[in-house]
Amino acid sequence: MHQKVRGNTGKKFDEKKLPQGLFYRKDFLSAEDKQEVLNYLKTLHPIWEQRYSKHNPPPQGKEQRMLLRPVYWLGNWQFACLNYYHPPKGTQNRSVYAEKYPPVLARIVEKAERIARQIYSPKDIPQGWELNTCLINYYGKKLENGRWVDGARVGEHKDFEPGPVASLSLGERAMFQFVSSVGKSSPARVVFQQWLEDGSLQIFGSPRWKDELFHRVQRVDRKLGAELPGNMEGFNVRRINFTFRYVPRKDWVKYENLPEGLKEDVTPYVTELARYSSFFSGLLKDSNKK
Ligand SMILES: O=C(O)CCC(=O)C(=O)O
């Protein structure tokens, strides 16, 4: 698996070729598509989620907390308080039907899927794989008690959706790292790092990058002076990232079919989304009719 790679400017790993299983293309997004994506973003109203809820309270030793950043999901919405999609056991009542991709994202996803099918061996692409789920992460600073607090990072984690993940970046570049282990006793060791630039596409897959290593966003630059659409009072957005993943459709659940407690937990979010989204206001209406 070799590909021409430009713009891999992570200092220590400034190489022409990326390791097998990784793909990066700077300037993936054309100027027209970028404008279309930005126009679409102007229509979205992301929300702040809490990690836990009444029916999924914090485990012992943990506290309720707000996520570090606002998010929006397409395809299906993995509410944090439903614990995210986590096969093999955590697959039920975690991925709630959400809005479809707009045409520009559907086109981008088609291209990303084509690239992934070229660069990964069939054993690294699960049966039925398609990038049908998108998490949109908003990175920036938040006004808290009169002070601007920067939360533009993501801690070490894995994406548990099966198969390759594709990631489209807009705005300021982000330092993205794969790290080998996390724990209180041993600090994370950086195995590979990469700046994710405005308009770039990254794809990572295979057991090495998906299952063995963690990944994180260490920091987001401020060099471009980017200001992106977020529609949020007291939150300034300088980077937006779309990660496209695969959740088998058999595991998507309709909001109205969630068990009562879980439905109660996510209803405030659905209600907030319904203020600006006909899809979510339709869900509330249908569910009230039942
Ligand atoms: O913002 C990024 O580049 C990565 C986001 C990420 O790690 C995730 O959504 O799981």
243 in ligand 1 pocket by Cβ < 6 Å? yes
Residue 30 has pLDDT above 80, yes or no: yes
Burial of 44 (0-12, 13-18, 19+ CB in 10 A): buried
- Nearest residue by C-alpha to atom 3 in ligand 1: 241
Residue 76 burial by Cβ neighbours in a 10 Å radius (0-12, 13-18, 19+): buried
Q: Would you say the CB of residue 226 lies under 6 angstroms from ligand 1? A: no
pLDDT per position as a tens digit, 48-59: 999 999 999 999
Q: Is the Cβ atom of 161 under 6 angstroms away from ligand 1?
A: no
- Which pLDDT tens digit goes with each residue over 122-167? 999 999 999 999 999 999 999 999 999 999 999 999 999 999 999 9
Task: Place 16 in a pLDDT band, splitting at 50, 70 and 90.
Answer: low
Count of residues making up the chain: 290
CA 215 to ligand 1: nearest atom: 7
User: Among the atoms of ligand 1, which is closest to the Cα of residue 243?
Assistant: 9
Question: What whole-number distance in Å separates Cα of residue 64 and Cα of residue 165?
Answer: 29
What topology is assigned to 22-252 in CATH? Jelly Rolls (2.60.120)
Q: From ligand 1's centre to the CA of 242, what distance in Å?
A: 8
Query: What is the distance between the alpha carbons of residues 286 and 167, in angstroms, rounded to a whole number?
Result: 33
**Residue 234 identity:** G
Q: Is 215 in the pocket of ligand 1 (CB under 6 A)?
A: yes
The residue whose CA has the least distance to atom 7 of ligand 1 is 216
CA of 287 to the centre of ligand 1 (A): 32
Element (H, E) at 110: helix 103-119
| Average pLDDT, integer, range 24-40 | 97
DSSP state, residue 257? G
pLDDT over 70 (residue 6):
no
Decide if pLDDT at 12 tops 90: no
Closest CA to 252 of 98, 130, 71: 98
Question: What digits encode the pLDDT tens for the residues 83-119?
Answer: 999 999 999 999 999 999 999 999 999 999 999 999 9
Distances (CA, A) of 206 to 66, 126, 177, 232: 31, 11, 16, 37
Answer whether 154 contacts ligand 1 (Cβ < 6 A).
yes
User: For the chain, what is the mean pLDDT?
Assistant: 93
- 5, pLDDT greater than 50: no
Q: How far apart are CA 52 and CA 88, in angstroms?
A: 21
Is there an atom of ligand 1 within 6 Å of 174 CB?
yes
Give the SS3 label for residue 287.
helix
* Distance (Å) of CA 109 to CA 20, 114, 166, 210, 282: 21, 8, 8, 19, 26
**Taking the domains of the chain in order of start, what are their residue ranges?**
22-252
